[in-house]
A and B are shown apart, each in its own frame.
Chain A
Amino acid sequence: MTFEQFAVARLQSLLRYAIVLTGDRDLAQDVVQEVLARTQVRWRRISEADSPEAYVRRMVLNEYLSWRRSWAARNVHAVGERLVDLDDARGGVHDHAQDVVDADELWNRLTVLGRKQRAVLVLRYYEQLQDEAIADLLGCSPATVRSHASRALKTLRLTSERQNMIHAEETS
């Protein structure tokens, strides 16, 4: 498979992954462009991997984790209103439109998380990876993964907007 065939087949999927990871359209574009440009230069080597796509997705993750822009500046302004317990707010009754509204709200809240915390949630719930696999990708222990996930979930559900903003600044 040539690089171009790979890109044609997998670019959309990589962009979806990047937008979910970064939460920012421009940053997702930057990250994927950077990674794919390097991939193209190294394609002969990367194409020999068991799964070039898995390899490139890992590059996207690493690029996101090491991106040097000011995250607090980019993210805090997007934080929505105070955190609420979605289920309590809905009183246990769900309809589709409400689900979409809730998903938007939660998407905005995700911007307060630090990069590793967000990455753990994306890898666990979007990529549906086990904690051991996530630990391998992030170069940490499964216990650290669980700790990141736990803190992230706690932040998403229980902390105030002010605390979230402080958290975002501290973890950027």
Chain B
Amino acid sequence: MIDHGDQLREAFETHENLAPDPAVVYARVQELAHTYKWRRRGVQAASGALLTAGLVAGVVTVPSLVAGRSGDHVAVVAPAAGGTPSAPVSGKDLEKDLAAYFAAGYGYTDAVKLAKIWNSTADIQQVKAEAGRRLLAGETLPIQPGPEDPATEPSSSPIDPQQTEQLNAFFGAGYSYDEAEQLAKIWKLADPYQAKIEGGKRLLAGETLPVEPNQESARVSAFFNAGYTYTEAVKLAKIWKLKDATAAKAEAGKRLLAGKKLPVQPQPANVQAAKDLVKLDAFFNAGYDVNDAIELAKIWKSKDTYAAKVEGGKRLLAGETLPIKP
């Protein structure tokens, strides 16, 4: 009899390739993130409007939307506070309330706490919306944003190009977070991130590390990086008479890393997506960031910054220099 776990693993792994196109998702993420930042300013304006209009009752504090630090507060005039949560909201109101909630630095964990405080049995999303509605109304919430609270600094901070190179050397050698954890213990470093930097530095200096990389992980990455998906893994498992697609991914990756060809070819669209990722890596590895991509998109008249990054990576891989410095 086959174990339930094996059946479920098989069911999950055979369907993970249904995932949507990462490029489409990433583009949408950028749009949403911009919207959230814009809404944050909108929430500030809303709070300011309440302040100047002098709508109601007393002076209370709400988490500062300017500094983004949970300890900072600004005084606003609060309307008479409703003691009980309102009826569920939907549509644009819901969207607006949720945006206010997240913009103020609150997260899922805070919503759970609020639900307990308010003795609410509503869907946690409605609790977030209710909290957002109160914030927009100028009220203060009974808790401060927890550790999940967002910072308002720019989303992509400049990174030391040398560190980027070290991180890439670490990951490029097939190492992952698991090995970084082990290395941090061996080298008595504060965290796995430091171990990745140190590991990359040593690899670039031609040294070997005291922990072997996870070969299977590197092989599976090579498989996906070549544009293959689960569909081809199933075919390969059948051809090579392997027990499952997971084993086929590892075997295929091993062959690809050895420069061999596989008996099954990936879909052209997937190959293109994988190549884009390689170009993006080249772009970032050279020290460029999103601000550079914006500038390059203007110069090249690219349709968006994503296209500019891909084009930039392509030119860098071809040995060309870009019109701007990172």
Taking Cβ atoms with an 8 Å cutoff, the residues of A that contact B are: 1-5, 7-9, 11-12, 15-20, 23, 25-26, 28-29, 32-34, 36-38, 40-45, 47, 50-51, 53, 59, 62-63, 65-68, 86-87, 92, 94, 96-97, 99-100, 102-104, 106-107, 110, 121-122, 124-126, 139, 153, 156-157
Contact = CB atoms under 8 A, between A and B. Distances in A.
A128 to B, nearest CB: 8
B295 to A, nearest CB: 15
Interface residues of B, number: 69
Contact of B156 (A2, A16, A110): A2
Interface stretch (B9-17, B54-62, B203-211): B9-17
B49 interface: no
Contacts of A62: 108
Chain B, interface SS category: helix
Interface string B10-38: 11111111111010111011101101110
A2 B164 CA distance: 9
A159 to B, nearest CB: 15
Interface stretch (B79-87, B120-128, B135-143, B261-269): B120-128
A33 B156 contact: no
Interface of B: 1-2, 4-5, 7-20, 22, 24-26, 28-30, 32-33, 35-37, 40, 102, 108, 111-112, 123-126, 128, 148-157, 159, 164, 167, 171, 177, 191-193, 224, 234, 237-238, 244, 277, 280-281, 284, 289-290
Contact of A11 (B26, B125, B156): B26
A71 B10 CA distance: 24
Contact of A37 (B19, B32, B167): B32
Given A2-B159, A62-B108, A86-B7, A12 B224 contact: yes
A5 to B, nearest CB: 5
A45 B157 CA distance: 11
Contacts of A17: 16
**Interface SS majority for chain A:** helix
A1 B22 contact: no
Contacts of A122: 12
A170 B75 CA distance: 45
Contacts of B12: 20, 107, 122, 125-126
B25 A106 contact: no
B86 to A, nearest CB: 15
Contacts of A66: 108, 111, 123-125, 128
B26 A7 contact: yes
A42 B105 CA distance: 9
A132 to B, nearest CB: 17
A65 B112 CA distance: 12
Given A50-B192, A66-B123, A102 B19 contact: no
B1 A87 contact: yes
Nearest to B108: A62
Given A4-B156, A106-B7, A29 B25 contact: yes
The 9 closest A-B pairs by CB, nearest first: A42-B150, A37-B32, A15-B19, A16-B16, A106-B11, A40-B33, A66-B124, A68-B125, A2-B156
B32 A34 contact: yes
Contacts of B1: 87, 92
A41 B43 CA distance: 15
B15 A19 contact: yes
Contacts of A23: 15
Nearest to A9: B171
Given A36-B26, A40-B29, A65-B124, 15 more contacts: A2-B290, A16-B17, A19-B19, A26-B20, A36-B33, A37-B32, A38-B36, A42-B149, A42-B150, A45-B150, A66-B111, A68-B126, A87-B2, A103-B13, A107-B14
